[in-house]
Amino acid sequence: MPHLKNLTLYGRYHDDFYSPSSSMASSAKIETLETPGWDLSERPSASRYFGQFIRSMSHLKNLKLYGRYHDDFYSTSSSMASSAKDHDQSRNTCPTLTELTVDDNILEGWHDCGSMFDNVKRVTIQVCNPINYDVIQRIQLPGATELTIQTHEYGLRPAGFHEELTALPNALLNISSQLVKVTFSDLDIGNSKMELILQAFRSPHNLNHLKTIRFMRCGTDLSMNDVTIVCNEDHVIEVEVEHGKPRGF
């Protein structure tokens, strides 16, 4: 299928599926790839071949990466990225990839992927469980300017924050120091926690490029409008809010 641009994978596959796929990736025209929430953590060969498949796709722009992978998935990516940079300092293994979506399952086992995601500008983290700073900051994207944290589309209940909210800016700083916009979407935050989050970002922090924070359907209501107005009048950071309950709950 030489003209295939959008690919969504479902189900389980034998290791033989991944091996030929990796060898054909360089000629693929796929721009959007979505993986299922499969568990390849005990399958090194499948993880390795699938890692090669992703990193060889020269037209890939949008990657939605879910599930769990063996360490070979990450070691393959890191070594391929290192090899690419040694060959040409201007290249990485996914030069066209600018949008990345991951979930907290894959981040729990996340390792260094070298320069694979250096060109990613927009990243979305989908969470099923209470948001854990140690987990979400494992992915480091030096060029990312937009970050969205949202409840997983298949989550059973809205995810929320259960850690000290004053530490949130530092956790996001570890993801990328270049963040311009941060969005919280369909989370269990509510009025009181939204106010604490805004206080954290109005206090001194090192996200020097951050301009906008958005709360989309995070359990807030109109009583927060006065707080939002005060924040916007400070001209320190712009706050955008869509009140209401998390979508689907």
- pLDDT digit string (tens) for 153-201? 888 899 999 899 999 999 999 999 999 999 999 999 999 999 999 999 9
Please check whether residues 71 and 153 belong to one and the same domain. no
Residue in this structure with the two tokens 């000290």, named with its chain if needed: 164
pLDDT tens-digit profile of 188-242?
999 999 999 999 999 888 999 999 999 999 999 999 999 999 999 988 899 999 9
- pLDDT at site 246: 96
Q: Give me the mean pLDDT over the 92-96 stretch.
A: 75
| 155 vs 23, more confident | 155
Quick one: pLDDT band at residue 1, thresholds 50, 70, 90? Answer: low
Residue 104 placed within a domain = no
Say if 71 falls within a structural domain.
Answer: yes
> Do 222 and 138 reside in the same domain of the chain?
yes
Of 47-51, 86-90, 94-98, which gets the smallest average pLDDT?
A: 86-90
| Residue 111 forms part of a structural domain | no
Q: Say if residue 246 is in the same domain as residue 132.
A: yes
Examine the domain organization and report whether 30 and 128 are in the same domain: no
> Of 93, 112, 134, which residue is a domain's last?
93
The string over 141-173, giving b where at least 16 C-beta atoms fall within 10 Å of a residue's C-beta and e elsewhere, is beebbbbbbbbbeebeebbbbeeebeebbebbb
Residues 129, 248, single domain; the answer is: yes
One domain, residues 35 and 151: no
Pair 129, 159: CB distance under 8 Å: yes
Residue 180 lies in domain: 121-249
> What CATH number should be reported for the domain holding residue 224?
3.80.10
Same-domain pairing of 133 and 26? no
64/153 Cα distance (integer angstroms): 12
**Alpha-carbon separation of residue 70 from 1, 48, 109, 183, 239 (angstroms):** 29, 8, 8, 30, 40
The answer to whether residues 79 and 170 belong to one domain is no
Instruction: Assess whether 145 and 233 both reside in one domain.
Output: yes
User: 38 and 148 share a domain?
Assistant: no
**Is the pLDDT assigned to residue 144 strictly greater than 90?**
yes
Asked if 35 and 137 sit in the same domain, the reply is no
pLDDT > 90: what percent of the chain? 61
Structure tokens at 149: 């944290």
Task: Based on the fold, state whether residues 42 and 142 are members of the same structural domain.
Answer: no
Number of domains in the chain: 2
Which residues lie closer than 8 Å to 143 by C-beta, 6 or more apart?
A: 118, 119, 120, 121, 176, 178
Is residue 199, in this structure, part of any structural domain at all? yes
pTM of this prediction? 0.89
By the 8 A CB rule, do 243 and 222 touch?
yes
Residue 206 in domain: yes
